[in-house]
Amino acid sequence: MLRTAINQSVRQFSASASSIKCHRLEGKVAIVTASTEGIGFSIARRLAQEGAKVMISSRKEANVKKAVEELKSEGLQVAGTVCHVGKAEERKNLFEKTKSDFGGLDILVSNAGINPVVSTVLDSDEEVWDKIFDINVKCMYLLMKESLPLLKCSKSPSIIIISSLAGYQPFNLLGIYSISKTALLGLIKATSSELANEGIRINGIAPGIIKTKMAKMLYESEESHEFAIMSSSMRRLGMPDEVAGVAAFLASDDASYITGETVIVSGGTNARL
């Protein structure tokens, strides 16, 4: 019964999200990493709906092709390339292709993040630590640095880092992942004044439990679903489009005096650091 009511409210939200009225990103160029599915795909679509030209990317060519075709069929200006964020050559190509296809870069949305294991902090081994920190933290840092030559040429450049509610309130069984997302809060804070000197804003988004493939284990079973929705004040899961709207705001000039912040998008789930 409760689940039916929740699904209805989620459906109502999705329906209303299909007509975007703002065009705040006309003339801008964006890269969204890990954007063939889930939150990244929704962000890419929303930025393009608001007028940006968007470079889609992820590890698998077939996924890139499918996402690009879908967004092009909606009349959006997108292109795509394969980019595993852990591969230096593919990151280099991502920036070069964005410049050659779209002429520059204004917005970097660094969204790729992984969680290969379900375990507590002390039950995880070194290999897991390295893998998660490599993609979730080091590659975010590298992408940020590598985007600078292009962003410095933009009139209103902005970086958005996708962190997590788990960065504020660690999830027991997502131990190392939670720590990696806390590190991103630090990365945003630590770089904001340096980047401000270059006229570049950097902000983060910390989603709660959002209905995507990655989060499935947190809501798949009846029991986990109940737990997930009961931890949120709004008593439902979030949808990727609800994260995308915040990304569009942070990337736009409406957020021109906001930097070094992380916006929590969690339906009111309690979180503190």
What is the DSSP-derived secondary structure letter of residue 233?
T
Active site residue 177: yes
| Distance from the first to the final alpha carbon of the chain | 34
Separation between Cα atoms, residue 77 and residue 28, nearest integer Å? 11
Considering the complex, state which of residue 23 and residue 145 has its C-beta at the smaller distance from ligand NAP: 145
Helix (H, G, I), strand (E, B) or coil at 204: strand
User: Least distance from C-beta 257 to ligand NAP, angstroms?
Assistant: 26
User: Least distance from C-beta 144 to ligand NAP, angstroms?
Assistant: 14
Q: Is 69 exposed, middle or buried (0-12, 13-18, 19+ CB in 10 A)?
A: exposed
Q: Is 180 exposed, middle or buried (0-12, 13-18, 19+ CB in 10 A)?
A: buried
Considering the complex, state which of residue 51 and residue 113 has its C-beta at the smaller distance from ligand NAP: 113
Considering the complex, state which of residue 156 and residue 212 has its C-beta at the smaller distance from ligand NAP: 212
User: Least distance from C-beta 85 to ligand NAP, angstroms?
Assistant: 4
Contact between 160 and 205 under an 8 Å Cβ cutoff? The reply is yes
Choose the catalytic residue: 141, 168, 177, 219: 177
Helix (H, G, I), strand (E, B) or coil at 57: strand
Considering the complex, state which of residue 33 and residue 259 has its C-beta at the smaller distance from ligand NAP: 33
Residues that bind ligand NAP (CB under 6 A): 33-34, 36-40, 58-60, 63, 83-86, 111-114, 135, 162, 164, 207, 209-210, 212-215
Contact between 128 and 112 under an 8 Å Cβ cutoff? The reply is no
Closest CA to 201 of 262, 131, 245, 243: 262
User: Least distance from C-beta 151 to ligand NAP, angstroms?
Assistant: 20
Considering the complex, state which of residue 221 and residue 256 has its C-beta at the smaller distance from ligand NAP: 221
User: Least distance from C-beta 58 to ligand NAP, angstroms?
Assistant: 3
Considering the complex, state which of residue 156 and residue 237 has its C-beta at the smaller distance from ligand NAP: 237
Separation between Cα atoms, residue 82 and residue 134, nearest integer Å? 19
Separation between Cα atoms, residue 232 and residue 45, nearest integer Å? 26
User: Least distance from C-beta 6 to ligand NAP, angstroms?
Assistant: 15
Strands 107-110, 158-162: pairing kind: parallel
Separation between Cα atoms, residue 71 and residue 62, nearest integer Å? 14
Using left for φ > 0, alpha for ψ between -120 and 50, and beta otherwise, residue 52 falls in beta
| Active-site annotation, residues | 177
